């Protein structure tokens, strides 16, 4: 569909003169040809009804896991991109939790070249350490030169302060961004859920908030010492929100994101022993959820991520204590945020605008003549998330089989349109 028109959608694009107004948008040959409150077009032009829906820059995910290379039975680039498009994302960054890890120019180039031509732009995150072992720095600059957008050891935290210190100092020299997954393994150990009343009730070993805040404190000090930028991914506690807020008040180059599921679900879900609620960091308390939502609204938390983590059935359809961490999340971010009570403007700011700014990617605009990159979504419309509508290879979601409120109607990028009917 080279030429089409979106009618009567509310535009959410803060830099645009039509921001928060109902508009028509004409797309021709992948570009925004015209935008106005009303466009009279040829009847031969196909139209998309945007009444009651919002139109914004396509969502951008800062934390997704695809299996390629090596773990394609969980998710490959093509199925991951399909799930992303269905969830409203026109770009994702993929974590280095692969086999082999994304720890050299070879893996980075594989991701970049294999995803060319997709509707969804796929940006690799390179490992901080070789083999994600936390011992020796990987070739960060070489990876960035070949397309790595940032650096992280994925779901493995950097336990050695000296290595993190060197990573921050080295990356500073070429404006590389270090992403920290904050969890002190000596505190968290191999425990299974949040430490608290519920873990005591269930007789399950818990992971205390301290495992996160201790690492956050360390890395803030290291970033300050090196005058470096650092980004914390998937924060989950009220104490962390407080620490990041104080760091920002001091003028430190500290940013953070939160996974959508941590904005709604709590540790109480674990009482059902549904292994799809086993995530890392673990689901926390109602107090933590409240603090995270407040942190979003006051600007302490910069972005929201899916933390999409697919697993084969044999890793999830088992006893809770031996199940792998993670849920598939790309298609359910919007419905979860609607459940959490977020308004459309906040969703766009934290899912489309801020994530791009964090990694210095230009935010798509709606100026006439610019390349079209958008999502059309409705926060009131319902849909059923089931095996038919799930585009991921994996099924590990606690929301599978449910009717959800908050539907992505369409996404467009790279001259490709995806409609969710």
Tokens found for residue 174 = 């070429």
With both helix axes pointing from N to C terminus, report the angle between 238-249 and 210-226 in degrees, rounded to the nearest 10. Answer: 10
Name which of 418, 352, 365 is nearest 391 in CA terms: 418
Tokens found for residue 135 = 């011992």
For residue 1, is pLDDT > 70?
no
pLDDT digits (tens, 9 = 90+) for 99-123: 999 999 999 999 999 999 999 999 9
Ordered domains of the chain (ranges, CATH): 3-55+370-381+402-419 (2.30.40.10), 59-358 (3.20.20.140)
Going from the C-alpha of 7 to that of each of 83, 136, 334, 337, the distances in angstroms are 26, 54, 22, 25
Question: Locate tokens 């084969």: which residue?
Answer: 312
- Percent of the chain past pLDDT 70, that is, above it, reads 100
List beta partners, residue 91: 60, 121
Judge residue 325's burial from the number of C-beta atoms within 10 Å of its C-beta, 0-12 exposed, 13-18 middle, 19 or more buried: middle
State the pLDDT at residue 42: 76
CA angle 9, 12, 18 (to 5 degrees): 75
Q: CA 10, 13, 19, 23: dihedral to nearest 10 degrees?
A: -40
For residue 41, is pLDDT > 80?
no
State the pLDDT at residue 43: 78
For residue 249, is pLDDT > 70?
yes
State the pLDDT at residue 44: 83
Q: Which helix (H) or strand (E) holds 412?
A: strand 402-413
Question: Locate tokens 């697919």: which residue?
Answer: 310
pLDDT digits (tens, 9 = 90+) for 322-351: 999 999 999 999 999 999 999 999 999 999
CA angle 56, 62, 63 (to 5 degrees): 130
pTM attached to this predicted model: 0.97
| C-alpha span between 162 and 331 (Å, rounded) | 38
């Amino acid at each position: 569909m080279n030429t089409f028109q979106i009618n009567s959608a509310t535009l959410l694009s803060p830099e645009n003169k039509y921001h928060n107004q109902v508009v028509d948008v004409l797309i021709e040959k992948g570009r925004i040809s015209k935008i106005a409150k009303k466009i009279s077009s040829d009847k031969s032009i196909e139209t998309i009804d945007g009444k009651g829906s919002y139109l914004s820059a396509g969502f951008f995910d800062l934390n997704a896991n695809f299996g390629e290379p090596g773990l394609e039975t969980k998710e490959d680039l093509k199925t991951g991109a399909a799930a992303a498009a269905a969830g409203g994302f026109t770009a994702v960054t993929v974590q280095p939790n692969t086999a082999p890890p994304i720890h050299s120019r070879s893996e980075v180039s594989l991701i970049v070249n294999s995803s060319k031509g997709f509707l969804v732009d796929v940006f690799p995150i390179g490992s901080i350490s070789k083999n994600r072992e936390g011992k020796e720095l990987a070739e960060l600059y070489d990876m960035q030169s070949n397309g790595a957008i940032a650096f992280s050891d994925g779901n493995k935290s950097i336990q050695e302060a000296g290595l993190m210190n060197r990573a921050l100092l080295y990356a500073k020299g070429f404006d590389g961004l270090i992403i920290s997954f904050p969890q002190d393994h000596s505190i968290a150990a191999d425990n299974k859920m949040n430490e608290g009343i519920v873990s005591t009730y269930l007789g399950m070993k818990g992971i205390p908030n301290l495992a996160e805040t201790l690492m956050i404190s360390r890395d803030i000090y290291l970033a300050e010492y090196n005058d470096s930028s650092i980004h914390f991914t998937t924060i989950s506690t009220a104490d962390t929100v407080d620490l990041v807020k104080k760091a920002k008040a001091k003028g430190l180059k500290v940013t953070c994101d939160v996974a959508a599921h941590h904005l709604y679900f709590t540790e109480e879900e674990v009482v059902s022993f549904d292994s799809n609620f086993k995530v890392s960091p673990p689901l926390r308390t109602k107090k933590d959820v409240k603090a995270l939502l407040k942190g979003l609204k006051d600007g302490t938390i910069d972005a929201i991520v899916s933390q999409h983590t697919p697993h084969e059935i044999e890793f999830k359809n088992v006893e809770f204590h031996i199940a792998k961490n993670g849920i598939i999340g790309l298609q359910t971010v919007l419905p979860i945020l609607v459940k959490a009570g977020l308004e459309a403007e906040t969703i766009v700011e934290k899912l489309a605008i801020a994530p791009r700014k964090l990694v210095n990617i230009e935010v798509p605009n709606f100026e006439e003549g610019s390349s079209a990159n958008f999502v059309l979504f409705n926060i009131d419309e319902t849909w059923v998330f089931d095996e038919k509508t799930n585009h991921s290879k994996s099924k590990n979601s606690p929301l599978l089989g449910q009717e959800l409120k908050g539907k992505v109607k369409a996404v467009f990028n790279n001259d490709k349109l995806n409609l969710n009917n």
